[in-house]
Amino acid sequence: MQFIESIRHLVGTIIEQFPIVFPALNEGFLQTLKLFVITLVGALPLGLIISFGSMAKFKPISLITRVLVWIVRGSPLMLQLMIIYYLPGLVGRNIWGGGEQGRFIAACIAFILNYACYFSEIYRGGIQGVPVGQQEAGQVLGMTKKQVFFKVTLLQMVKRIVPPMSNEIITLVKDTSLARIIALQEVIWAGSAFMKSSHGIQGQIWPLFFTGVYYLAFCGILTLLFGYIERKLSYFE
Amino acid sequence: MSILEVRGLKKSFGKTNVLKGVDFSMEEGEVLSVIGSSGSGKTTMLRCINFLETADSGKIFLDGELLLDAADQKKISAAEMRKKQLNFGLVFQDFNLFPQYSVLENVTLAPRLLAREKPDFKTHRHELYEEIDKNAKAIIDSVGLTDKLNCYPCMLSGGQKQRVSIARALALKPRVLFFDEPTSALDPELTGEILKVIRSLAAEKITMIIVTHEIDFAESVSDKILFMADGVAIEQGTPEEVIRNPKNDRVRAFLQKLQDN
Ligand SMILES: Nc1ncnc2c1ncn2[C@@H]1O[C@H](COP(=O)(O)OP(=O)(O)OP(=O)(O)O)[C@@H](O)[C@H]1O
Ligand SMILES: [Mg+2]
């Protein structure tokens, strides 16, 4: 009986506080979304450039890019965030300032760099996965290099890239919560603020738990979207 | 006059000399089969003549005129090389069809792209494409795949794939059509359909060079046989000469071994 009473009490609290908590979480989630979108916009092209670097015939370039990829993929994103945010201040050049904007830019840089390295490996796999025979067949049919790329290999690369890329992008959604370590006010930060005090509410943990709903909904939408793209590309193998 | 003449074709990969000076020539409408043991350089020779590899030296003549001196290949612009390329067609051992395109699209892709370079493309695009499609459908029909026109390569058997790839090469009307072991990626029961297609092309006087291990087929379809060993064409002549009365001991040994198997 006491259990039912507690549930009733909790539901009552949630209903009462929801109009205050919801906008605050939305604001945090907006920041999460911004970080997500900017990371994609930066890391998708940068990853392609890095993948070209790692495949370069000129050895020093491919070596340097591969070492970079190894460092970035071989260490925790959380650590990279802290290094990028705190290191400039440590050497006497606090380029980020103290505000939310500086933290946001630092987070974007760390995320873009980190994800570009992961993406570069995915691109590399996709590009190298297309058999050379495809390019040779195009060449003996008198196609230009450009035509071979755009008309023959590109779509085959995309097909190979989409599944691992969708995994990585869904991981990114959840990884954005790591930015909290440098106090970026994303959705988990906004949720956990209610544990102390925020918007006149004190000592409530349910808003933090509720942030999970945002991630689930967003990842669900992305899963549907990528599933759709994969289905669109499933007519050939 | 020979339609194709190859003189002193040499190619090495690093320290391995794969082609050590190949010479041969053939007349228009002829079928030349290339035989020889594995690793003798047959594929490499085909790839050099089709510009997929850059030969170290050697000359290729088309209709008696110099088409390419290998020594110049690196200096020639990509556009020039493409023009030269279009004299030849190559059918690969493992088909290399474009998986994202239907049978018809595989055959029309290259001709459509070429049509873009015609001066009247902007004004006559529709007619040009229609002509290309009509031609492609006729070729696809001639290899017996009309009912597969809109199928994708993943829906076809190996033999059907190889027939599409033959149609794809034919659509550009190459002067010489090359085959690199067109049946060796196929199940034995499917080789027949490919050999039948090649035979019908021979009857139409399509000039062909065929690398093959099917000696009986080579003997019956070819005007000339070229035997490769260690990067050299050690014997060439009519099937009668090369297969029935080989002069060279290595040819004899090779044919003997095939018979024993
Ligand atoms: N890209 C390459 N790099 C290095 N060596 C190569 C390369 N291509 C071919 N070779 C070598 O050249 C030699 C001839 O190969 P090639 O494929 O031309 O022989 P082939 O006569 O076609 O043999 P098969 O009957 O087995 O197809 C082989 O020893 C092979 O290892
Ligand atoms: Mg071979």
ipTM comes to 0.94
Searching chain B, which residue's CA lies closest to the CA of residue A233? B100
If asked whether residues A207 and A165 sit together in one domain, one would say yes
* Domain end point (choices A102, A128, A154): A128
- Average pLDDT, stretch B52-60? 95
If asked whether residues A147 and A219 sit together in one domain, one would say yes
Residue A13 lies in a domain: no
Q: Which of A132, A136, A141 to mutate to test the interface with B (most CBs of B within 10 A)?
A: A141
pLDDT at A98 > cutoff 80: no
- Ranking A66-70, A89-93, B1-5 by mean pLDDT, the lowest is A89-93
Beta strands in chain B (DSSP E): 2-13, 16-27, 31-36, 57-62, 65-69, 88-91, 176-180, 208-211, 224-229, 232-237
If asked whether residues A148 and A237 sit together in one domain, one would say yes
pLDDT at position B259, please?
Answer: 80
Atom of ligand 1 nearest to the CA of B14: 4
Specify which residues B88 forms β-bridges with.
B176
B93 close to A (CB below 8 A) = no
If asked whether residues A137 and A236 sit together in one domain, one would say yes
**pTM of structure:** 0.89
A and B: number of Cβ contacts within 8 A: 64
pLDDT at position A92, please?
Answer: 83
Q: How confident is the model at residue A71 (pLDDT cuts 50, 70, 90)?
A: very high
Q: Which domain holds residue A222?
A: 133-172+202-237
pLDDT at A170 > cutoff 80: yes
Q: Write the residue with the smallest CA distance to atom 8 of ligand 1.
A: B44
If asked whether residues A111 and A151 sit together in one domain, one would say no
CA of A55 vs chain B CAs: smallest distance (Å): 21
Gyration radius of chain A's alpha carbons:
23
- Average pLDDT, stretch A8-17? 92
- Average pLDDT, stretch A78-107? 90
Write down the mean pLDDT value for chain B. Answer: 94
If asked whether residues A160 and A99 sit together in one domain, one would say no
Query: Nearest to residue B24, comparing CAs of B53, B51, B46?
Result: B46
If asked whether residues A46 and A137 sit together in one domain, one would say no
Q: How confident is the model at residue A237 (pLDDT cuts 50, 70, 90)?
A: confident
Ligand number, closest to the Cα atom of B52: 1
CA angle, B94 then B98 then B99, to 5°: 95
What is the CB neighbour count within 10 angstroms for residue B64? 11
Searching chain A, which residue's CA lies closest to the CA of residue B165? A137
| Residue listed under structure tokens 């093959």 | B212
Ligand number, closest to the Cα atom of B9: 1
If asked whether residues A168 and A85 sit together in one domain, one would say no
pLDDT at position A195, please?
Answer: 92
% pLDDT > 90, chain B: 90
If asked whether residues A58 and A145 sit together in one domain, one would say no
pLDDT at A115 > cutoff 80: yes
Domain count, chain A: 2
* Residues in Cβ contact with A231 at an 8 Å cutoff, skipping those fewer than 6 apart: none
Q: How confident is the model at residue B84 (pLDDT cuts 50, 70, 90)?
A: very high
